Amino acid sequence: MLVLCLYRLLSWACNRVDNAIAANNDHDHYGTNDDHVIINIKELTGIDQSVLRSIPVVDFSSKDFKHNVECVVCLSELVEGDKARVLPTCNHLFHADCIDSWLRCQSTCPICRNKVGSVPLVTRPEFVPDNNISV
């Protein structure tokens, strides 16, 4: 029942975005930056489906985790054998169906709000002194 309600809520939100896009296309934008408008609308409509398909679906195994893992989209625990996705930019774990629905309308992780599909930050390499440097 909760999943059905969540699905209906996400569908409603996606429809609102579609309506906003349609309404936005009906108006002239004299003196505005149309590229900026398109970027903002794209952020509201979720990630590209090719990016979503590139995130592997795995079978959840509780032995890989110390504690119970809860999907924050549906608020249910993941149980042995559930299909799950781990977001590559932040390593947060969700039911595959739940995060797929979320990412159709949003482009960020529901926990940390990192952009999904963006390049993860590269950590600075450890400094190794070069003894062959002369001054």
Residues 92-119 have a mean pLDDT of 91
Query: Residue 20 — pLDDT band, cuts 50, 70, 90?
Result: low
Beta bridge partners of 93: 86
- The region that residue 81 occupies, defined by phi over 0 for left and psi between -120 and 50 for alpha, beta otherwise, is left
The pLDDT value given to residue 4: 62
Domains, the chain, ordered by start: 45-118 (3.30.40.10)
User: Tokens in use for 57?
Assistant: 């679906």
* Residues 78/56, Cβ–Cβ less than 8 Å: no
Query: Residue range 10-26: average pLDDT?
Result: 59
> What are the tens digits of pLDDT across the range 36-81?
555 555 455 789 999 999 999 999 998 888 888 999 999 999 999 9
C-beta separation of 114 from 89 below 8 A: yes
Q: What is the mean pLDDT of residues 8-24?
A: 61
* Average pLDDT over the chain, rounded to an integer: 75
